[in-house]
Amino acid sequence: MTIKLRLILTALFVAQAARAETVTWIIHDAPPQYILEGPLAGQGYKDQQLSFLIAHLPQFQHRVIQGSVGRVWHEIAQRDGICTLGMLPNKEREDAAVLAERPVLVPGFRLAVAADRADKLAPFLDKQGEVDLEQLAGSHRLSGAYVAGRVHARAIEDFIALPDRAVPLQQIVSPRQIYSLVQTGRLDFTFGGPHEIRYFQRTLDGNPTFSALPIKGVPRLVKTYLSCSKKPVGQAVIAAFDAMMRDQARWAAFLAPLENWMDGVDFTAALAAKPDR
């Protein structure tokens, strides 16, 4: 290749990059989805999925910033080119965002308790061994917390919103802080996926053991979606993602980081998920 030709190709590449639209990915502290600190920093399954997308969507410029869940949805509603992985949809979010056509199935929420104090929840289990949140709502003896800004399964959202709920609930930004409080007995329970519960068992000091109790009305697996601003750049990102993920090999490669955090039967179901939008 001559120097002149190389200069022309370089100029074309720079011009194309300059024209490329910028996509901003907002990540937040939610291990093992995103892991922002500690020896596993950057190894969360969404960290790895995001790296995959950046490598396979070269037609966009990408930047990654940290922000709360609340900031994610404020920015998506206000600006173009904002994207997030693994959205659990509700009406407000769907009004602001365009969603990918193929869902990512992840484990549904469980009620996390310290294993050595799980007997405190025994009075609130139904015949199927699931926590009945309607019964739990009347308890004055227990206390819990949930992650601020997180959207939960409908049964949990209804429980949180109950105006006459007796059991106290704190709203806390940091999942690590919540699990530490459950570990030490200052809180009795929280809500999290089995993969999240497993992560904090591995990483909190003292090697705690948590029990992940199924919750009445909460499915074993839930659908989450890549979501972007409902504006031209965001729609272009979703269109490119949808086209790429119609290839099953690409879909499997995108989902691969989840395999370490899911039971085999659940991961098989995730691989088999079909477009539903």
Q: Let me know if residue 277 belongs to a domain.
A: no
Cα–Cα distance, 206 to 89 (Å, whole number): 35
- Judge if the upstream peptide bond of residue 219 is cis by omega within 30 degrees of 0: no
Q: Do 89 and 171 belong to one domain? A: no
Residues of the domain holding 208: 110-213
Model pLDDT for residues 72-112, shown as the tens digit of each residue: 999 999 999 999 999 988 888 999 999 999 999 999 999 99
Spatial CA neighbour of 84 closest among 210, 212, 262, 230: 230
CATH number, domain at 70?
A: 3.40.190.10
213, 229, 258 - which closes a domain: 213
Residue 16 has pLDDT above 60, yes or no: no
Cα–Cα distance, 228 to 149 (Å, whole number): 18
Cα–Cα distance, 172 to 125 (Å, whole number): 26
Model pLDDT for residues 135-160, shown as the tens digit of each residue: 999 999 999 999 998 889 999 999 99
Which phi and psi (to 5°) does residue 17 adopt? -65, -40
Say how many domains are in the chain. Answer: 2
Q: Do 38 and 173 belong to one domain? A: no
Q: Do 16 and 97 belong to one domain? A: yes
Q: Do 250 and 187 belong to one domain? A: no
Residue 12 has pLDDT above 80, yes or no: no
Average confidence score pLDDT of the chain: 91
CA-based angle 49:54:57, to the nearest 5? 115
Identity of residue 238 = I
**Which residues fall within 8 angstroms of residue 78, CB to CB, at 6 or more apart?**
none
Q: Let me know if residue 66 belongs to a domain.
A: yes
Residues in the chain: 277
213, 235, 262 - which closes a domain: 213
Q: Do 11 and 90 belong to one domain? A: yes
Q: Cite the DSSP H helix spans in 116-220.
A: 133-136, 154-161, 175-184, 194-203
pLDDT value of position 240: 98
Cα–Cα distance, 221 to 93 (Å, whole number): 20
166, 189, 213 - which closes a domain: 213
**Which residues fall within 8 angstroms of residue 121, CB to CB, at 6 or more apart?**
111, 113, 131, 136, 142, 188, 189, 213
Model pLDDT for residues 26-73, shown as the tens digit of each residue: 998 889 999 998 888 999 999 999 999 999 999 999 999 999 888 999
Q: Please report the DSSP string for 72-84 in residue order.
A: HHHHHHH-SSEEE
Q: Do 143 and 90 belong to one domain? A: no
CB atoms inside a 10 Å sphere around CB 277: 13
Cα–Cα distance, 141 to 20 (Å, whole number): 57
